Chains A and B, each alone.
Chain A
């Protein structure tokens, strides 16, 4: 098959090398790739692979401390690396658009959406006001923003993350760039919204014949949207080719690793019977609406009459989009959020009304693993002290026993010899291991894990999930696994509960939910999950 992109590449990066002199390393090393007109190229890699820096170099937006030391960046034959700053500025936005990862901070909160949409048009096209307004409205309609007239006058905080990313996309596509660089544009969004935003992006790019450079760590998205992919690792390109080829027959061991790290369904669990360890009955949690100063705030029902049973040793996953109330459910069960009604029983004893001694006993039996390993560890404590802290409430233990337990637990999570480190000296995966060690050091019967791997790279996710599984087998704790990532859930859960707007809409074993979903919301979630698509595809090919 001849590749038309080779004849007239829109963008061609030749031997790009970026150095961080203060660290004495090259963050990008002799990178070569090209993008044809209207082509959809994915740049795949984990954190530290240099993919974001490469994209920033194309835009001439390298952060301070990083310099281009070699290479050319040709856009339509013009070397951007050699161009003067005013020329780059003229191209930025007009010829190359960029969508960033974090929609919450990439729009200016102080300006109206209309002002931000108009900015680029005014700068690059010098259009009259009504023309700018007309084009903005049309584009907002195009990205399916309800009530575009009102949207122009509104400020970014009035919109959800998905809406903001659409507005961002609208503002970029208004200028009809020849190249759109999207850096992890949907990582912060849940599965359903991710699909909507990306589908829209592909449509818009096709309409305007815009080439797309999608930077991502998610192989599912690569398989679904891109035609060609470049795989990067530690600043180097390790593999390049047609997406189907790369995923089915990866030639480089690292790419193989990435493909192997795709979550696969765990072994079917033998159903656990007997009394539930944790029983939740018609639990209800509401926010807002109280207090005389907040009289006019609307009351939000986050959890609306939820029933759940978690049996000893099993993993029950709660899945749902953002705002479905799954995190609040986990917090309410642990009494970190106040429940407004219903009942939670742990080993048959009431939790919600417990006080003093009873509450303490309950706390001794449960633990929580947080989503963000960067804020869940006290930055001023060493790893050893963090893991040892829960043991101060076990009165019968001698200091020697405690030290031995901490050592053993660190060994369990694969962090031998890390006692004296501070959290900032660890990688994200290592931090999450510390958080897991802290959670299991007291051998709890029940652990709530709130999106424990969603902040981690794919290969690290795999390792942490595998570790979690192994620890669960060894210590036999039950787990409430809260996640929006259906593929991770498929790998780790025994049973799944699907949550939508505060209610559980469907519960079943992994096989029931994934192979024969009965509720439309479950089906929508499954369809939107790109990774599940991909694993199915690879399995059927194998």
Chain B
């Protein structure tokens, strides 16, 4: 029962983030872009629930508006890294031979590069935009996924049910898709949920370096980055987006664990 409660808490947290993202399309308390230089750096009050930033923009509105962007970037990035990583990992681990050697050589070269540096380089080349971030961060994180999936596949390919599939006359592609990949789900799910957190933070880091989603569009990452100089005078500016990031991470992790258990027939309660 415990894991079900956890999954429900996770689902509620993620649901709140998604609801905020949807709501931002039609209504926010204030216009998140609107400057109001008379109301700069106000602490939380009845009018501005979470205060205002150095340009007098309403923090609550910017958080709501940024939810969609931050969540979308992280989700797409993880999906991208997961797809590339799982497919290449299964192919390399299952087929072995020169395919494995070439793929792993490229993969290790990418891994040897600091992920952030790689993303930075790509961003400089293609320019800052939402999808550029997705591709850049996705490529930075995919090699880890490839490694993990390949390792799992190496052990699964020796199981007898894989051999049985070959005896039945199934092709290698079918065997990979039907018998190998589904049995890799547990490690993929664990890695993907932790990756979600790393990506949210990396997006903030890119924003911090001025290569994230270009201002004035709000994301949790660039809000956190922008709050840094005012940490001593306006602490609410960093607490609010920080808390949002932390709660989203918690939600994703709880939900991910719940889903993984749910998807594993061995964990199902009779």
A→B interface (CB under 8 Å): 334, 336, 360, 363-364, 366-368, 370, 372, 375-380, 389-390, 392-393, 422, 424-425, 435, 438
Q: How far is the CA of A514 from the CA of B159 in the complex (A)?
A: 35
Chain B residues, Cβ within 8 Å of A390: 168-169
Query: Whose C-beta in chain A lies nearest to the C-beta of B167?
Result: A368
Chain A residues, Cβ within 8 Å of B169: 360, 363-364, 390, 393
Q: Are A393 and B168 in contact (CB under 8 A)?
A: yes
Query: Whose C-beta in chain A lies nearest to the C-beta of B270?
Result: A425
Q: Are A375 and B161 in contact (CB under 8 A)?
A: yes
Chain B residues, Cβ within 8 Å of A438: 164, 168
Interface CB pairs A-B, < 8 A, 18:
A336-B166, A336-B167, A363-B169, A364-B169, A367-B167, A368-B164, A375-B159, A376-B164, A378-B161, A378-B182, A378-B183, A379-B265, A380-B264, A390-B168, A392-B170, A422-B268, A424-B265, A424-B266
Query: Whose C-beta in chain B lies nearest to the C-beta of A394?
Result: B169
Q: Are A379 and B168 in contact (CB under 8 A)?
A: no
Chain B: minimal CB distance from A518 (Å)? 35
Q: Are B164 and A370 in contact (CB under 8 A)?
A: yes
- The 8 A CB mask of B244-270 against A (1 = contact, 0 = none) is 000000000000000000001110101
Contact of B160 among A360, A367, A370 (CB under 8 A): A370
Known contacts A370-B160, A372-B160: A379-B166 contact under CB 8 Å: no
Q: Does B179 contact A (CB under 8 A)?
A: yes
Q: Are A334 and B265 in contact (CB under 8 A)?
A: no
Query: Whose C-beta in chain A lies nearest to the C-beta of B161?
Result: A378
> Chain A contact residues: over half helix, strand or loop, or mixed?
mixed
Chain B residues, Cβ within 8 Å of A424: 265-266
Q: How far is the CA of A435 from the CA of B170 in the complex (A)?
A: 16
Query: Whose C-beta in chain A lies nearest to the C-beta of B180?
Result: A378
- The 8 A CB mask of B179-223 against A (1 = contact, 0 = none) is 100110000000000000000000000000000000000000000
Chain B: minimal CB distance from A460 (Å)? 19
Chain B: minimal CB distance from A45 (Å)? 27
Those of B137-175 within 8 Å (CB) of chain A: 159-161, 163-170
Query: Whose C-beta in chain A lies nearest to the C-beta of B265?
Result: A422
Chain B: minimal CB distance from A446 (Å)? 11
Most buried by B among A360, A366, A367, A378: A378
Most buried by A among B164, B170, B268, B270: B164
A-B contact sample (15 more), CB < 8 A, given A363-B169, A392-B170: A368-B164, A370-B164, A376-B160, A377-B161, A377-B164, A378-B182, A379-B183, A379-B265, A380-B265, A390-B169, A393-B169, A424-B265, A424-B266, A425-B270, A438-B168
Q: How far is the CA of A367 from the CA of B168 in the complex (A)?
A: 7
Q: Are A366 and B167 in contact (CB under 8 A)?
A: yes
Chain A: minimal CB distance from B173 (Å)? 14
Q: How far is the CA of A145 from the CA of B164 in the complex (A)?
A: 39
Q: How far is the CA of A425 from the CA of B166 in the complex (A)?
A: 25
Contact of B168 among A372, A389, A435 (CB under 8 A): A389
Chain A residues, Cβ within 8 Å of B265: 379-380, 422, 424
Contact of B266 among A364, A392, A422 (CB under 8 A): A422
Chain B: minimal CB distance from A3 (Å)? 47
Contact of B179 among A360, A366, A378 (CB under 8 A): A378
Chain A residues, Cβ within 8 Å of B182: 378, 380
Query: Whose C-beta in chain B lies nearest to the C-beta of A378?
Result: B161
Query: Whose C-beta in chain B lies nearest to the C-beta of A359?
Result: B169
Chain A residues, Cβ within 8 Å of B178: 378
Ordered nearest first, which 4 A-B pairs have the shortest CB separation?
Answer: A376-B160, A363-B169, A422-B265, A378-B161
Chain A residues, Cβ within 8 Å of B264: 380
Chain A: minimal CB distance from B188 (Å)? 14
Chain A residues, Cβ within 8 Å of B167: 334, 336, 363, 366-368
Q: Are A368 and B163 in contact (CB under 8 A)?
A: yes
Q: How far is the CA of A367 from the CA of B165 in the complex (A)?
A: 10
Q: How far is the CA of A372 from the CA of B160 in the complex (A)?
A: 8
Known contacts A363-B169, A364-B169, A393-B169: A379-B164 contact under CB 8 Å: no
Contact of A375 among B160, B168, B270 (CB under 8 A): B160
Q: How far is the CA of A336 from the CA of B160 in the complex (A)?
A: 11
Chain B residues, Cβ within 8 Å of A422: 265-266, 268
Chain A residues, Cβ within 8 Å of B164: 368, 370, 376-377, 435, 438
Q: How far is the CA of A366 from the CA of B166 in the complex (A)?
A: 11
- The 8 A CB mask of B119-142 against A (1 = contact, 0 = none) is 000000000000000000000000
Chain A residues, Cβ within 8 Å of B161: 375-378
Chain B residues, Cβ within 8 Å of A368: 163-164, 167
Chain B: minimal CB distance from A99 (Å)? 29
Chain B: minimal CB distance from A418 (Å)? 14
Query: Whose C-beta in chain B lies nearest to the C-beta of A391?
Result: B168
Q: How far is the CA of A138 from the CA of B265 in the complex (A)?
A: 53
Chain B residues, Cβ within 8 Å of A379: 183, 265-266
Chain A residues, Cβ within 8 Å of B179: 378
Q: How far is the CA of A380 from the CA of B267 in the complex (A)?
A: 11
